[in-house]
Amino acid sequence: MFKRIYLLVFFSIITTAAALAQGSLDIHFNGLGFMDNREYKDFVARSRTYSGVRTALDLGLNVDSLNHFIVGVNGIHEFGAKPYFLKVNPVAYYSFTGKNWLFNAGAFPREGLLDDYPRALLNDTLRYYRPNVEGLLTRFHNDHFTETAWIDWVSRQTVTDREQFLFGFSGKYRPSLTGPFYVSHYFLLMHDAGAEVLLPNDHIQDNGGGQIRLGLDFSHKTILDSLSIEAGAMTSFERVRGVDGFRTPTGFVANAYLSWKRFALFDEFYKGQGSHIIYGDAFFEKKTYNRLDIIYTPFLYKRVKGQFILSLHQTPGYSSNQEAFRVTVDLGRQTLVRFKD
pLDDT tens digits, the chain, 341 residues: what are they?
Answer: 444 554 555 555 555 545 554 689 999 999 999 999 999 998 877 889 999 999 999 999 999 989 999 999 999 999 988 877 778 999 999 999 999 999 999 999 999 999 999 999 999 999 999 999 999 999 999 999 999 999 999 988 888 888 899 999 999 999 998 899 999 999 999 998 888 777 777 888 899 999 999 999 998 889 999 999 999 999 999 988 877 778 899 999 999 999 999 999 999 999 999 999 999 999 999 999 999 999 999 988 889 999 999 999 999 999 999 999 999 999 999 999 888 76
Quote the CA–CA distance of 53 and 193 in Å, as a whole number. Answer: 33
Largest CA distance in the chain: 70
How much is the pLDDT for 45? Answer: 73
What sign results for the dihedral spanned by CA atoms 12, 13, 15, 20?
positive
Contact between 29 and 56 (Cβ < 8 Å)? yes
How much is the pLDDT for 311? Answer: 97
SS (H, E, C) the chain: CHHHHHHHHHHHHHHHHHHHCCCEEEEEEEEEEEEEEEECCCCHHHCCEEEEEEEEEEEEEECCCCEEEEEEEEEEEECCCCCCCCEEEEEEEEEEECCCEEEEEEEEECCCCCCCCCCCCCCCCHHHHCCEEEEEEEEEECCCEEEEEEEEEEECCCCCCCEEEEEEEEEEECCCCCCCEEEEEEEEEEEEECCCCCCCCCCCEEEEEEEEEEEEECCCCCCCCEEEEEEEEEEEEEEECCCCCCECCEEEEEEEEEEECCEEEEEEEEEECCCCCCCCCHHHHCCEEEEEEEEEEEEECCCEEEEEEEEEEEECCEEEEEEEEEEEEEEEEEEEEECCC
How much is the pLDDT for 15? Answer: 55
Number of residues in the chain: 341
What sign results for the dihedral spanned by CA atoms 90, 48, 121, 282?
positive
Using alpha carbons only, what angle is made at residue 190 by residues 184 and 191, rounded to the nearest 5 degrees?
Answer: 140
Q: Is the peptide bond before 109 cis (omega within 30 degrees of 0)?
A: no
How much is the pLDDT for 1? Answer: 47
- Judging by DSSP bridges, how do beta strands 87-97 and 101-109 pair with one another? antiparallel
Conformational region of residue 21, where left means phi above 0, alpha means psi within -120 to 50, and beta covers everything else: left
How much is the pLDDT for 21? Answer: 46
Q: How many other CB atoms are there within 10 angstroms of residue 62's CB atom?
A: 22
Give me the torsion for CA of 161, 162, 163, 167, rounded to 10°. Answer: -120
Q: Hey, which residues does 205 pair with through a beta bridge?
A: 192, 240
